[in-house]
Amino acid sequence: MRLYPTIELQQGRCVSLFRGRLEEPQIWHVDPVEKAREFAEVGAEWIHVTDFDAVAGAETDNAEIVESIIRQAGVPVQLGGGFRSMDRIAEWIELGAGRVVIGTAAVHNPDLVKEAAKYYPDQIVLAVDVFQGQVMSQGWTATAVYTPEDFIGWFENDPLAAIIVTDIDSDIGDADRSLALVTRLADCARAPVIARGTVRALDDISRLKYVPHVSGTIIGRALFDRSIDLAEALAIAQPAPEPRAEFI
């Protein structure tokens, strides 16, 4: 299973949000580019970056910082935030983003996901944000009428790199319920599933590792508040060695 340490940006700062509340960020006083390099040096194979200013449609976003992370981290970047047109998708892939994550636009304009996946196979990631059993959009502020199963089904024939499943309830819910949601959606998805919002401790990685069709998990706040050590998490995420027969 692959771990995706995440850097979430707002006004040039590393932040974490509680249930997506842009107005109440938890600010981490670290340099985002240095933090990305640190994650890569420890052994991360990918880094996930979310630009919350782009999510909110702000005129000034964190483009320069994101470009620096892409150039300097030394590992591929999976980038989310404000991807609502083919032009923006193409722009960031040309700038070096390894993958682009589409969430809100997928709800309102599913053809954009299909077109992007056609032109950039295995570089487009679908974000499925779930709250109380329904898909959310607009930075977790609007409830769609679709169930996550139906939503994922729209794209079953498109060459997606992955599907990110976020349990918005996870900040107030229990870990078993979050794991059940990820397990259910991974079972009906054709693309590999990346879980988000399900890891608070190393034990959560151990359990998630054995869920079929889950290829990875995104970890943010737990790395910044030091609840989880990335090196230990990476070691746990590694596949267990296959048993070998003893020959006499």
Catalytic residue positions?
Answer: 8, 129
Between CA 74 and CA 215 the distance in angstroms is 21
170 CB neighbour count, 10 Å cutoff: 22
* Separation in Å, CA 236 to CA 8, 34, 243: 24, 24, 17
Between CA 78 and CA 237 the distance in angstroms is 19
Closest to 146 (Cα-Cα) out of 162, 165, 169, 129: 129
Between CA 21 and CA 19 the distance in angstroms is 6
Assigned token pair, 27: 């600010």
Amino acid, res. 120: Y
Look up residue 56 and give its DSSP letter. Answer: T
106 HSE (CA, 13 A, CB side): 33
Q: Cβ(64)–Cβ(95) under 8 Å?
A: no
